Chains A and B, each alone.
Chain A
Amino acid sequence: MKKLLAVSLLSFFVLNISNAQIERRRANPHAPVEETFLTKNIAGLGTVQLLEKGDLNSMIQHNFGDVKGGIDTFFGIDEGANVRIAFAYGLTNNINIGIGRTSREDNVDFTVEYRLLHQTKSDKIPVSVVFKSNAGIRTQKEAFPLTFQERLNFFGSVMIARRLNDSFSLQVAPMVSHFNTVVQTRANQKIFNTTYGLGLAGTVKLTERKSISFEYLPVLGNRLSNTKNHAALVYELETGGHVFQMFFMSGRWFTEQHLLTRTETDFFEPNFRFGFNVNRVFGLL
């Protein structure tokens, strides 16, 4: 009899619970982490942040002469800007393509990025992994004849990043660059067509729309004798529609193959230049 009473009471209470407010549960606890970095680039280094399908990112990147010129060059501003204009598009949520043009050497470059893994909020997948490849061609008129093949440069990297918490993300990216032609600019200068490196990047969110980021590209192994490791320190600000990035960087370029092999100023000397990027995303679908 007691058992019957217990079962009856249990049934009554359990079933009545269903009449109270439903327990709130997240729809997708394994949802991907949406914002590891604020944009696709830090200063020049790419990030695992990809555009979603149908989104177009337009980006204008500038930097100036090095600050060592002092007030005579207004800390490099008077030396003229290197400018890269670039567009990237989300073919799918995991594949981005892009095109850019840099004013130095009139280098035109093409990018393909493919996301292999996307970190999830539940940590079921602990990191995001994106493969990036870039091919560039210097199109400027040269004093010496260069064939199409000789004008080409290439870059490949595997970017591995993790958003550690709501305000801190880190990225490591083994990378390789290759130039079909390397010009010897100094006597007895060692030259190499292929250079390996490790891209390190991180960001600290100050608020939802402001962050401080860094990038550092140490060369691994052989390097041109005047090549220094590139570094940049960036302040990022997201407004309603734009992401502005203001930075000090040692490299003169915005394409990673050039940053890795042709940076000749040492950030920690210290010697660097001022620059800024402007990003704007448009939804095309």
Chain B
Amino acid sequence: MRKKIFFCLALLLLSGHLIAQSYKTEEGKATFYSKVPLHNFEGNSENLIGLINLEDSTVDFYIDLETLDTGNGKRDKDMKLTLDTKKYPYGEFFGKLVSDFDSGSSEVQNAKVQGTFKIRGKEKQIEVNGTLQMTEEGLLVKAEWILNLKDYEIKPPKLLFIKVDPNQKIKIHALLKPVQS
């Protein structure tokens, strides 16, 4: 009988421990920066969704690509066609935090994640450097990396007759809150 009670308590305690170690986005922003000669533009989305589990170091982020807004309807349409968002609506990352993180510290800490980035149905193993900071509001995540469209078999679109640079800088900024039971 004691063993059973101990087992139940252990399960509940472990569940509670896991809750405290998981953080999910309440607000997240992703931005990509594109370049063509003599012209730069960016696309933004406020719909970055993410979960970080400090217990098992899992990092999971995704974005609905149709929410990206470049401020130009025609360009948005071309972008959606290029990314084939009807068939592949999400850009997503799933991986692990491979650097140490002290959740008891409120300092900005460098962080490194490794995992799979998937867009337009193609996957690639990537490594992303960024920062994590435990704040009063939650876990603040900032990161940026270069996405080469050709790695995902995406043909760079053209503006007028000039091809967009295949290297797109991606930036994310998200505040993750502890997952509540």
Is B130 an interface residue, CB under 8 A from the partner? Answer: no
Is B64 an interface residue, CB under 8 A from the partner? Answer: yes
A-B contact count (CB 8 A): 100
Q: Per-residue CB proximity of B47-61 to A under 8 Å, as 1/0? A: 101110101101010
Q: Which residues on the A side are within 8 Å of B55 (C-beta)?
A: 19
Tell whether A28 pairs with B56 under 8 Å between CB atoms, given A1-B4, A283-B73. Answer: no
Q: Which residues on the A side are within 8 Å of B72 (C-beta)?
A: 52, 54-55, 283, 285
Is B100 an interface residue, CB under 8 A from the partner? Answer: no
Q: Would B90 and A24 count as touching, CB distance under 8 A?
A: yes
Chain B residues touching A, range: 35 or more
Q: Please measure, in the bound complex, the distance between the C-alpha atom of A20 and the C-alpha atom of B9, giving whole angstroms.
A: 23
Q: Would A281 and B58 count as touching, CB distance under 8 A?
A: no
Q: Which residues on the B side are within 8 Å of A28 (C-beta)?
A: 64, 66-67
Q: Would B160 and A19 count as touching, CB distance under 8 A?
A: no
Tell whether A34 pairs with B8 under 8 Å between CB atoms, given A18-B179, A22-B60, A54-B72. Answer: no
Could you say which of A9-17, A99-107, A137-145 contacts chain B? A9-17
CB distance from A166 to the nearest CB of B (A): 7
CB distance from B179 to the nearest CB of A (A): 6
Q: Would B158 and A240 count as touching, CB distance under 8 A?
A: yes
Q: Would A90 and B73 count as touching, CB distance under 8 A?
A: yes
Is A4 an interface residue, CB under 8 A from the partner? Answer: yes
Is B112 an interface residue, CB under 8 A from the partner? Answer: no
Can you name the residue of chain B whose Cβ is closest to the Cβ of A12?
B11
Q: Which residues on the B side are within 8 Å of A22 (C-beta)?
A: 24, 49-51, 60, 62
Q: Per-residue CB proximity of A35-61 to B under 8 Å, as 1/0? A: 100000000000000011111000000
Q: Per-residue CB proximity of A55-69 to B under 8 Å, as 1/0? A: 100000000000000
**Residue in A16, A31, A55 whose beta carbon sits within 8 Å of that of B74 in the complex:** A55
Q: Would A19 and B66 count as touching, CB distance under 8 A?
A: no
Q: Which residues on the A side are within 8 Å of B86 (C-beta)?
A: 166
CB distance from A278 to the nearest CB of B (A): 15
Q: Would A27 and B179 count as touching, CB distance under 8 A?
A: no
**Residue in A8, A27, A90 whose beta carbon sits within 8 Å of that of B47 in the complex:** A27
Q: Which residues on the B side are within 8 Å of A166 (C-beta)?
A: 86
Q: Please measure, in the bound complex, the distance between the C-alpha atom of A240 and the C-alpha atom of B157, giving whole angstroms.
A: 8
CB distance from A137 to the nearest CB of B (A): 30
B residues touching A (Cβ–Cβ < 8 Å)?
1, 4-5, 7-9, 11-12, 14-15, 18-19, 22, 24, 45, 47, 49-51, 53, 55-56, 58, 60, 62, 64, 66-67, 71-78, 80-81, 86, 89-90, 92, 94, 157-160, 179, 181
Q: A12-B15, A166-B86 are in contact. List 19 more A-B contacts (CB 8 A).
A: A4-B5, A11-B15, A18-B22, A19-B18, A19-B22, A19-B53, A21-B94, A24-B90, A27-B47, A28-B64, A28-B66, A31-B66, A52-B74, A55-B73, A55-B74, A241-B160, A281-B74, A283-B73, A283-B74
A residues touching B (Cβ–Cβ < 8 Å)?
1, 4-5, 7-9, 11-12, 15-16, 18-19, 21-22, 24-28, 31, 34-35, 51-55, 90, 166, 208-209, 240-241, 281-283, 285
